[in-house]
Amino acid sequence: MKGVLLAGGTGSRLFPLTKVTNKHLLPVYNKPMIYYPIKTLVDADIKEILIITGPEHAGDFLKLLGSGKEFGVRLTYELQDEAGGIAQALSLAEPFVDNDKCIVILGDNIFEDDIKKFVKAFEKQENGARIFLKRVKTPERFGVVEIKNGKVVYMEEKPKNPKTNISAVGLYMYDNTVFEKVKRLKPSGRGELEINDVNLSYMKEGNLKYNFLRGFWTDAGTFPSLFKASQLVKKKENRN
């Protein structure tokens, strides 16, 4: 199973911090932000990871992370020449993933949970897709999910009036049909290929499963969430 870490985007919500660097290289407590999603993948026993980022700061990622030897993995890099959405960035991973399955993680998402058991189960026994969910206070910021009778029945990206407080976090597992699904997508109103539409494709096929996270989860793409991420990581390290 291959790991795909998405670290593109302009980081406009964190300007001027991102005026001269990529947001995924900003500090979260005592480490660069991108260390945390890498650790989530490493702890799940993922040995090959593709990092997809924009061309402006690609050299900084290479300088910081190198070959991945420090983490005990092999890192590969791919450039997303222009912003086209998460699903468009994922499409660049097709040659890397090849006929394998993949786990996709957003580079500004920080998780407390160890997901190794879910990854191993998906790798050995499952086809389709599996997403991870969390109940949140501000679901309108994320992709909102409705569940009935143990199945995902509705998904909407950043709705003004959320049906539930259940949000899909930036962590997904896919079989290799994901790339054909991306190719069939049409740009959203934002002009991007949305990962929510990929998940909807699996849902309509009846091949979308889910797990709720127990520990903390936060993105770190805004000033409040970046600050919150540092607080949560510090609290966890103090406990340990």
Q: Indicate whether 11 pLDDT > 90.
A: no
- 9 to each of 86, 89, 230, 238, how far by Cα in Å? 9, 10, 21, 32
Q: What is the CATH number of domain 2-239?
A: 3.90.550.10
How far, in Å, are 1, 29, 85, 156 from residue 19 at the CA level?
35, 20, 21, 31
What does the domain layout of the chain look like in residue ranges?
Answer: 2-239
- Band of the pLDDT at 3, cuts 50, 70, 90? very high
Query: What pLDDT digit, counting tens, does each position of 189-227 carry?
Result: 888 899 999 999 999 999 999 999 999 999 999 999 999
Query: Over 37-59, what HEC string results?
Result: HHHHHHHCCCCEEEEEECCCCHH
* Beta bridge pairs of residue 52: 6, 78
Output the pLDDT for position 151. Answer: 94
Q: In sequence order, what are the residues at sequence separation of 6 or more whose Cβ sits closer than 8 angstroms to the Cβ of residue 78?
A: 50, 51, 52, 53, 92, 93, 96
pLDDT of residue 196: 93
> What is the structure's pLDDT at 82?
82
Provide the 8-state DSSP code for 113.
S
Convert the pLDDT of each residue in 84-131 to its tens digit.
899 999 999 999 999 999 999 999 999 999 999 999 999 987 789 999
Calpha distance 93→230 (Å, rounded): 30
